[in-house]
A and B are shown apart, each in its own frame.
Chain A
C-alpha cells in the first residue's frame, strides 16, 4: 500500500508548471487505497486467506473491479507519464494496454490465481498470499487501462469497442471459472475445505457462493460502466448530428445569401 501512496504523495508535491492534482482525482485515489486496505486487512483478508472461498473471491472482485479503476481514475496524466517514464515502462505499459493483450493477460491471471494448485500453495503462506494480491491488483490495472488509463494514447477511442471489450474481458470469460465453482460437486480448494467452518457455512456452499460472487460481483460495475459509455456515446452522436444539421442549415443559409448576393435582382 505504501508503494502506491508514497509515490503519489511525492509526485503530487512536485507537479509540473500548470498542472496539479484535481480534488476529484485525489478523492478517487484515496477511495481506492481505502478499499484496498479494507479488502486486505482483517477481517476480509484473514477470512479470504484461510477460511472462506467466498471471502477470497470478494477480495478478488474488490481488487480488480473497484480498486484498480479507482487508482487509475485518481492518477493525473502528468503523474502517470512521469512514473512510467522514470520506471522505463512506457513500451511495456503501451503493449499491455492494447485491448486484446490486456484482456488475455487479465483472464490468464484470473484462471491462474483461481486454480486449486495456486490457491492451495500460495494462500498458505504470507509471501504467496501477498504475491496473489499483487497479481490481482496488477491484473486489474492492466484490464482497466484501455478504458480509464490516465495516459490518453493507452485508451480505446471507439465507444462500441470499449463496450465490447468490457463485456468480453470482464463479463464473459470470468463467468466460466465462476460456473465451475458454482456447479462443482466437491470443494475444489483444500485450503477452504479443511479450514474450520465460519458460522457453520459448509465448504460446498461457500464455494458456490464464491462462484456467484465471481460471476455476479462484477456485473454492477461492468454493466454500470457500459451504461455510462452508452450514454456518452449517444450524447456525442447527438451532438455530432446536431452540429452537422446546424452546419447543413448554415450551409444552405449561406448558399441563399450567396445566391442573393449574386443575384442583384432579389
Chain B
C-alpha cells in the first residue's frame, strides 16, 4: 500500500514539478550561430557575440500593433527590476526587413531599452534564421482599412541559457512574474 502511495505521489510530484514558469523544452537544442546585421550596420553573430549571457530571441516587426511592443515592454520592465541578472541580451530580429531599417529599429527599441539588440538581414537570411530557431515563418497579409500589411509571426520569445541551450520559450502573453522567476535560473545554467 505504502509503495503504491509512494509511486503515485512520486509520479504526481514529477509531473507537477517544473523548473521554469515558461514552456520548458524537452530536448534543448544549441542556439544557431547565424550572423545578421545590427542597428549600427555591423555584422552580429547571434551566439558568439553574446557568449556568457542569457539570450532572449524574438522575431517581430516594429509596426506590430500589439504582441511585439507588449513583449518588449514586459522585458524592459523586468530587466529594470532589482535582483535581475545583468547578463541578459534581448535580440529582436525583424521579419519586415523592407520597412524595418536599422534606424527605424533603433528608434523603436530605444523606446523600451537602449541595450536591446536589433537585427536585420536579407529576406533569405531572415527566413533561414526563423527556420533554424524553429520559429513559425512570418507571413504578410493585407487587412482592410490598413495601408501597410500586417505580418503574422511567431509570438514566442526563445530563451537560451549561457550554456547555449534553448531551455524555455515564452509565448504571448507572458506575465512579469514568470520572467522574474525564470531569468535568474537561466542565468545560472553555464
A contacts, CB < 8 Å to B: 186-187, 190, 193-197, 200, 202-204
Q: In the complex, which of the residues A190, A193, A195 has the most CB atoms of chain B within 10 Å of its own CB atom?
A: A193
Task: Report the bound CA distance from A143 to B181 in whole Å.
Answer: 42
Closest beta carbon of chain B to A110's beta carbon, Å: 25
Which residue of A is nearest B71, CB measured? Answer: A194
A sample of 4 more A-B contacts (CB under 8 A), given A194-B70, A204-B77, is A186-B180, A190-B173, A196-B66, A203-B176
Instruction: Indicate whether B69 reaches chain A with its CB closer than 8 angstroms.
Output: yes
The answer to whether B176 touches A195 (Cβ under 8 A) is no
The answer to whether A197 touches B69 (Cβ under 8 A) is yes
B contacts, CB < 8 Å to A: 65-66, 69-70, 73-74, 76-77, 111, 172-173, 175-177, 180
Task: Report the bound CA distance from A190 to B111 in whole Å.
Answer: 22
Instruction: Name the one of B65, B111, B176, B177 contacting A200, with C-beta atoms under 8 angstroms.
Output: B111
The answer to whether B69 touches A203 (Cβ under 8 A) is no
Closest beta carbon of chain A to B70's beta carbon, Å: 6
Instruction: Name the one of B77, B172, B175, B177 contacting A202, with C-beta atoms under 8 angstroms.
Output: B77
The answer to whether A195 touches B70 (Cβ under 8 A) is yes
The answer to whether A190 touches B66 (Cβ under 8 A) is no
Task: Report the bound CA distance from A204 to B77 in whole Å.
Answer: 8
Which residue of B is nearest A190, CB measured? Answer: B175
Closest beta carbon of chain A to B173's beta carbon, Å: 4
Collect the chain A residues with CB atoms within 8 Å of residue B180's CB: 186
The answer to whether A202 touches B73 (Cβ under 8 A) is yes
Which residue of A is nearest B80, CB measured? Answer: A202
Instruction: Name the one of B65, B76, B175 contacting A194, with C-beta atoms under 8 angstroms.
Output: B175
Closest beta carbon of chain A to B39's beta carbon, Å: 19
Collect the chain B residues with CB atoms within 8 Å of residue A194's CB: 70, 74, 172-173, 175
10 contacts between A and B (CB under 8 A): A187-B175, A187-B176, A190-B173, A194-B70, A194-B172, A196-B65, A196-B70, A197-B69, A197-B70, A202-B76
Closest beta carbon of chain A to B120's beta carbon, Å: 23
Instruction: Name the one of A193, A196, A200 contacting B175, with C-beta atoms under 8 angstroms.
Output: A193
Closest beta carbon of chain B to A197's beta carbon, Å: 5
Collect the chain A residues with CB atoms within 8 Å of residue B77's CB: 202-204
The answer to whether A197 touches B73 (Cβ under 8 A) is yes
Closest beta carbon of chain B to A99's beta carbon, Å: 40
Which residue of B is nearest A197, CB measured? Answer: B73
User: What 4 pairs across the A-B complex have the smallest Cβ distances?
Assistant: A194-B173, A197-B73, A202-B77, A196-B69
Collect the chain A residues with CB atoms within 8 Å of residue B73's CB: 196-197, 202-203
Closest beta carbon of chain B to A172's beta carbon, Å: 30
Task: Report the bound CA distance from A203 to B175 in whole Å.
Answer: 11
Task: Report the bound CA distance from A169 to B76 in whole Å.
Answer: 39
